Amino acid sequence: MIQAGMLINAVAPIRICDIGGWTDTWFARQGNVFNIAVYPYVEVQVSILDRSAQTDRIVIHAENFGQTYPVTPGQVHFNKHPLIEAAVTEMRLPEELAFRINIFSDAPPGASTGTSAAVSVALIGALDVLTPGRLTPHEAAALAHWIESEKLKMQSGIQDQLASAYGGINFIQMHAYPRANVSSLQIPNAVWWELENRLATVYIGTPHSSHEIHQKVIASLGRNPEHDSRLERLRQLAVTAKNAMYAGDFISLGRAMDENTDAQRALHPGLVCPRFEEVITLAREFGVIGCKVNGAGGDGGSLTLLTDGDMRRKRAMLQAIRQRDYQVLPLYLSRQGLRVWRAGSVL
């Protein structure tokens, strides 16, 4: 029974290295994506309060932004944090209770690591505890995508929400937008550990707008985008990455990362900006075998590097990257996806 005084917690990972991204969209219609879920997680905590003692029934605290404000379902303008506000209004919380919702992430905003999707998935997971029935992680991801793409009319693929829901290393097959199957790759611990050891993710310091980038790419694809050879190449690269991961073949995985970034350049020249090119050129000097611009790309965000396994050389590379005033994000592979629990009990 849900009652005042309870705390509900939810966490969901973000994602990197999305090989095949752009094929999980409405205009691609079908696609394949390989991606890797990582933490630090997005964290959501819902405090349940006695409504009679509260001025505002629902209050959002966006901790990263230092913002606290009330949300009144039916009177929301979606002008501060639309994904958060839309999820709160969509979940139909019990009228007899009040809620304080705190949201936090260590990932910088606009890092092209699917953080917004992770916020939506974690928030839906937490609020779902307060409604009749329960959503599966896949259903939570689907609802998060529906809110972004349909309710808010924003450009959004499906892969970010699914990575947050499932965690791990995923191969996503979208057979008919937005319906998809998700296979979590089961690999030996030694391969998992080696992958985690070799990866590095660099934030170039400028938040990007994936919605704006989507519009540019859509315009460049013409009337029949689903048949565009560039998208077909991206679909194939996701399969290559999956097979490489199963084989523990880091050379092939790095090549798939590089070719995916080349395919992003071919989609639109603005997807791999000069700062990305600078980091890629620098990384090559230290023997990096794969470079993947994360997410939509553009004039900001992050990229993931796959090193050759020489940790001394990796540390020297990261030092050189920091000296160029870029930020190295401390990310680790996440075996689990969405997790929701109540104080004292796992739900």
pLDDT value at position 223? 81
In the DSSP assignment, the letter for residue 287 is T
Supply the DSSP string of 188-203, one letter for each residue.
-HHHHHHHHHHEEEEE
pLDDT value at position 77? 74
Tell me which residue of 291, 282, 293, 292 sits closest to 318, measured CA to CA. 282
Residues 114 and 96: their CA atoms lie apart, in Å, by: 34
Q: What is the pTM of this model?
A: 0.94
Residues 144 and 10: their CA atoms lie apart, in Å, by: 15
Q: For 277-318, how does the pLDDT look when each residue is reduced to its tens digit (9 = 90+)? A: 999 999 999 999 999 999 988 889 999 999 999 999 999 999
What is the mean predicted confidence (pLDDT) over 21-49?
97
What is the mean predicted confidence (pLDDT) over 158-174?
98
8 A C-beta contact, residue 182 and residue 31: no
Q: For 41-92, how does the pLDDT look when each residue is reduced to its tens digit (9 = 90+)? A: 999 999 999 999 899 999 999 999 999 999 988 777 777 899 999 999 999 8
Partners of 176 in the β-ladder: 179
Q: For 308-347, how does the pLDDT look when each residue is reduced to its tens digit (9 = 90+)? A: 999 999 999 999 999 999 999 999 999 999 999 998 554 5
Helices 189-198 & 250-267, crossing angle to 10 degrees?
50
State phi, psi for 223 to the nearest 5 degrees. -75, -35
- 3, two tokens: 């009652």
Query: For residue 214, with 0-12 CB atoms within 10 Å meaning exposed, 13-18 middle and 19 or more buried, which class applies?
Result: buried
- 156, two tokens: 């959004």
Residues 161 and 145: their CA atoms lie apart, in Å, by: 7
pLDDT value at position 208? 58
Which CATH number is 189-331 given? Answer: 3.30.70.890
Residues 147 and 45: their CA atoms lie apart, in Å, by: 20
8 A C-beta contact, residue 340 and residue 7: no
Residue 209 clears pLDDT 70, i.e. is over it:
no
May I ask the CATH class of domain 7-187+334-342? alpha beta
CA–CA distances in Å: residue 135 to residues 88, 129, 142, 347: 15, 9, 10, 12
- On the question of a common fold for 7-187+334-342 and 189-331, the answer reads no
Helices 82-90 & 115-128, crossing angle to 10 degrees?
20
- 297, two tokens: 């790309």
Radius of gyration of the CA atoms of the chain, in A? 20
In the chain, what are the domain boundaries?
7-187+334-342, 189-331
What is the mean predicted confidence (pLDDT) over 269-273?
92
pLDDT value at position 347? 53
Residues 86 and 338: their CA atoms lie apart, in Å, by: 19
